[in-house]
Amino acid sequence: MAAEEEEAAAPPQKRFYRQRAHSNPLADHTLSYPSRPQDMDWAALFPSFFPPDAAPGTAPARVEFVDVGCGYGGLLVALAERFPQTLAVGLELRGKVAAFTRARIRALRAARPGAYGNVACVRANAMKHLPHFFRRAQLSKLFLLFPDPHFKRTKHKWRIVSPAMLAEYGYVLRPGGLVYTVTDVPELHQWMLRHFGEHPLFEALPPAQLAAEPLLPLLPSVTEEGQRARRAGRAPNSAVFRRRPDPPAAAP
């Protein structure tokens, strides 16, 4: 899109990107997503990591971090600063919000050439599209920051944490990979603790390692939703879960 590119230099204005708080993750949206992971054009999202003059035979860069429901992109910006060599992608279901975050990253790249090239946002439905984008055991970190709580019982199936989704997170994460969760909704925190706790592919990070986890202190306040919670005086609850080894004979 021509104009979207030209817009690059200016930081986006949020008022042009507002959208209803919830989008039904089980509905059919007109999203474009690759049919298979090998069909995804990652070079278009991370051009600086796909130089045209790369030596033949060098393995193409691969996304390792995924921010599920990245919203306005606060975590991605922080990841760009802390892990400038690791590709991180945010998945956001709401089109306008994803468009904002893309514009935000474009503006940051334009303002500081050479930086922010490792983060990108795509509009996608994480509940349906993870295996379209990622291969088995491709990821090392997955972030679920302030996911929508969907309080009503009938809407629990919209929650981003469920037995079905945990099997998919287990599929895209490599053994030893980590899932970070933060929420200001105690009920949802309990729900996530319970589901990850009951799932055979995950275990809570042991306390000693949790204490040493460098990202943990950052996560509650790094995103827009985290700041909103803090302003409203709602305490964040964080947790980290580790992908356990595969059961025998699961790896092909």
Ligand X SMILES: C[S@@+](CC[C@H](N)C(=O)[O-])C[C@H]1O[C@@H](n2cnc3c(N)ncnc32)[C@H](O)[C@@H]1O
Distance in angstroms (rounded) separating the CA atoms of residues 58 and 51: 11
Smallest separation, CB 107 to ligand X (Å): 18
Residues 166-225 interacting with another protein (rule: CB under 8 A): 166-168, 170-171, 199-201, 222, 224
Known binding residue 223? Answer is yes
Here's the x/- map for another protein, 58-97, by CB under 8 A: it reads as --------------x-x--xx----------------xx-
- Residue 102's H or E segment, with its range, is helix 95-111
- The answer to whether the beta carbons of residues 80 and 112 sit under 8 Å apart is no
Q: For another protein, which stretch binds (CB under 8 A), given 35-43, 50-58, 144-152, 180-188? A: 35-43
Residues 6+ apart with CB under 8 A from 96: 16, 17, 18, 19
> Could you list the active site residues?
148
Which residue is listed with tokens 């990821």?
Answer: 139
Number of residues that bind ligand X (CB under 6 A): 23
Q: Which is nearer to another protein, 49 or 146 (CB)?
A: 146
Known binding residue 58? Answer is no
Q: Does 236 bind ligand X (CB under 6 A)?
A: no
Q: Does 122 bind ligand X (CB under 6 A)?
A: no
Q: Which does 92 bind (CB under 5 to 8 A by kind): ligand X, another protein, none?
A: ligand X
Q: Does 93 bind ligand X (CB under 6 A)?
A: yes
Q: Does 132 bind another protein (CB under 8 A)?
A: yes
Residues 6+ apart with CB under 8 A from 46: 61, 87, 117, 118, 120
Residues 55-84 interacting with ligand X (rule: CB under 6 A): 69-71, 74
- The answer to whether the beta carbons of residues 84 and 160 sit under 8 Å apart is no
Distance in angstroms (rounded) separating the CA atoms of residues 186 and 221: 17
Region of residue 73 (left: phi > 0; alpha: psi -120 to 50; beta: else): left
Q: Return the axis-axis angle of helices 224-231 and 74-82, rounded to nearest 10°.
A: 120
Distance in angstroms (rounded) separating the CA atoms of residues 227 and 189: 18
Here's the x/- map for ligand X, 151-190, by CB under 6 A: it reads as ---------x------------------------------
Distances (CA, A) of 40 to 34, 35, 129, 155, 188: 5, 8, 12, 31, 33
Judged by the rule CB under 6 A, the positions of this chain that interact with ligand X are 23, 25, 69-71, 74, 91-94, 97, 125-127, 145-148, 160, 223-226
Judged by the rule CB under 8 A, the positions of this chain that interact with another protein are 1, 3-4, 6-7, 10-11, 13-16, 25-30, 35-37, 72, 74, 77-78, 95-96, 99, 104, 127-128, 131-132, 136, 157, 162-168, 170-171, 199-201, 222, 224, 227, 246-247, 249-252
